Structure 1
Amino acid sequence: MKKISYSGVLFISLLLFTVFIFCGTAFAETSSYYGGITPSQGCMVCHSDKDLEANGRSLYIDEAAYKNSVHGNVLCSECHLGFTISLPHPEAKGEPLRVAALACKDCHKDVYNEYKNSTHGKAALMGRADSASCADCHGAHYIKSLKNEETKEDFWASADEVCGKCHEDYWENYGDYYHGQAYKVGFKKAPTCWECHGYHNILSKDNPNSLISDANLYKTCEECHPGSNKAFADAYGPSIHELQEGFKTNIILKWLRGLFSWFPW
């Protein structure tokens, strides 16, 4: 009988190990309580029901729309941490939608590092349910890639939904002729809220690192207005949001607004 060499044993062991890992991964991806379908498909057994709800909140997911989203290949459980497709679902730690909204950090680490130090991020991570999470701005199951020009244009036009739904006063007061009014009538060169305030790194105006702090505002203006200086920013900056307040409190402005109601103040 021939002796099996040490290298032969090692080769066979590695081969069996590779087969085991491959089969185990394939099984994990396809097995479920619903007979060999993927975990996400398993979720859709229930969540494709348009009448499914809990605590007055719809739990319906449009599977086709989800598959066409930028996360179409991401398993439900990668965002909804702690959930399995066993029924009933095990008790998950934390508020389920909040947990899912903040699960973005596991894949989008660079963005999360900016967000966690922002005004929104600090408040959300301290447990404030009314502070903006990733999903509050980007959406949840049907997120489209901003590399697509049509999606990019739609997102540009959505500042009232992205920011205005929480910051109603600021949205209403975003009304100077060259910025707010121009944006609201669809002028493409007018800035959205995030073009001045920042994206994931939004900070309070009182923070010296904020894009709209007294020290940095002119640099932010300079992005669109080359040659902008501090005097320019200090003089015009306040009118971007406060012009509308003037129409409420100044009798003459109020009269002019009424007289020229056709003008897009």
Structure 2
Amino acid sequence: MRNWFKANRSQLGLTGLAFGVLLLLIVMVLMAKPVAAAPQSQDEQPTDESCLACHQQEGMTAQVGGEPLPVTIDPEKFSASVHGTEDIACVDCHTNITGFPHPEVTASSRRDFTMELYPTCQECHLEQYEKTLDSVHQRAIAAGNTNAAVCTDCHNPHTQPRLTDESTGELLPEARVAVPQTCAQCHSTIYETYSDSVHGAALQDGNQDVPTCINCHGVHNIGDPTSNSFRNSVPALCADCHTDETLMKQYGLSTNV
């Protein structure tokens, strides 16, 4: 036996060394701390997909000051809207939403909720927003009439289609036709009068030459139509079209008015 150990001493040494190295590796692995997964950023914003996972459910409402507020969003309509096509995310407008549950709504009514949110529009539409500050609508709000129109009363942010041609900036034909219906949400009686007029009837027939509400009253900086300044400007407003010889000739009308 002694002779066998002498003959195999070198082989036994190598085997022992290998075993020792293996044992050391096992100990090191067991003692090593597990590598933690990278934590999710606390600043990560909810995606549109995560928002719509809840908000595409039909009939979904939230209580605002005891009033039910519809909060269902149609994904297809939003995707087709100008905000959807421009990749405006939900949290770009709803900046206080960072996760679920959402912050408590403190508005006392649905209208107060609208009044709190609509100034967000100026983040992208500052020029238009600043014009509204000099409008008859804004003056009514300043006087305490919170039912006067704000941005989102005319432009539903979740369904608003594109209004102007991207290359020319001109109002699209379908947008022109929709203008009176938009104003009719508040001014229904005047809308009926306009619809029965030669201008309104022609517009409904698809005539793009006739004036709509905004041609006479402006768009965002709408003036007070009962003011003396507006009344004095009426002849010039009419003259914009009725002194255009090329335009009037198409309809057999004289510019000598």
Common fold: TM-score over 0.5: yes
| 90-99 or 68-77, which deviates more | 90-99
Distance 1:46 1:227, change over 3 A: closer
Report the equivalent of 1:53: 61
Q: Contact 2:180–2:213 (CA<8 Å) still a contact in 1?
A: no
Q: Deviations over 1:37-89 (max 9, x none)?
A: x4433322211211312344421112233233222222323323433322143
* Mapped contact 1:53–1:59 kept (Cα < 8 A): yes
SS at match of 1:64: helix
Q: Which has the higher contact order (CA 8 A, sep 6+)?
A: 2
Of 15, 19, 40, which residue of structure 1 is paired with 2:48? 40
Asked if 2 retains the 8 angstrom alpha-carbon contact of 1:118 and 1:201, the reply is yes
Cα distance in 2 for residues equivalent to 1:28 and 1:63: 27
Q: Distance in 1 between matches of 2:215 and 2:95?
A: 33
Aligned counterparts of 2:97 and 2:155: Cα–Cα separation in 1: 23
Change (3 A) 1:28 1:226: farther
Q: Which moved more, 1:44-53 or 1:61-70?
A: 61-70
Shift of 1:197: 0.9
Answer yes or no: is 1:132 the counterpart of 2:149. Answer: yes
Correspondent of 1:202 among 197, 222, 229: 222
1:75-224 pair list within 5 angstroms = 75-92=89-106, 95-124=112-141, 128-148=145-165, 152-174=172-194, 177-207=197-227, 213-224=230-241
Q: Match of 2:161, SS?
A: coil
Alpha-carbon distance in structure 2 between the residues aligned to 1:207 and 1:167: 18
- CA drift at 1:172: 1.7
- 2-structure distance, mates of 1:147, 1:133: 20
Q: 1:70 to 1:124 in 2, by over 3 A?
A: farther
- Encode CA deviations 1:189-241: one digit per residue, 9 max, x unaligned: 221111111111111124455xxx2321122112211279xxxxxxxxxxxxx
1:84·1:90 contact (CA, 8 Å) conserved in 2? Answer: no
Unaligned runs of 5+ in 1: 1-25, 33-37, 229-265
Count of residues paired in the alignment? 194
Query: Which amino acid in 2 is paired with 1:118?
Result: S
Q: Give CA deviations for 1:113-170 in whole Å, capped at 9, x if unaligned.
A: 1111101123345653321111211222122222349x82222112342111211121
In the other structure, the counterpart of 2:33 is: none
What TM-score does the superposition give when structure 2 sets the normalisation length? 0.63
Native 8 Å contact 1:83 1:92 kept in 2 = no
Q: Is the 8 A contact 2:180 2:212 kept in 1?
A: no
Match of 1:254 in 2: none
**SS of the residue 2:242 aligns to:** coil
> Secondary structure, in 3 states, of the residue corresponding to 1:214?
helix
- Deviation sequence 1:15-58 (CA, Å, 0-9, x none): xxxxxxxxxxx9577x35xxxxx443332221121131234442
CA distance in 2, matches of 1:226, 1:43: 53
- State the one-letter code of the partner of 1:114: K
Give ranges in structure 2 of 5+ residues lacking alignment: 1-39, 246-257
Look at both structures and tell me which one has the larger radius of gyration over its CA atoms. 2
**TM-score in terms of structure 1 length:** 0.62
- The answer to whether the 8 Å contact 1:101/1:140 transfers is no
Cα RMSD over matched residues?
A: 3.1
Distance in 1, matches of 2:149 and 2:206, equals: 25
In structure 1, how many angstroms separate the alpha carbons of the residues matched to 2:141 and 2:175? 23
Alpha-carbon distance between aligned partners in 1 of 2:237 and 2:42, rounded to the nearest angstrom: 49
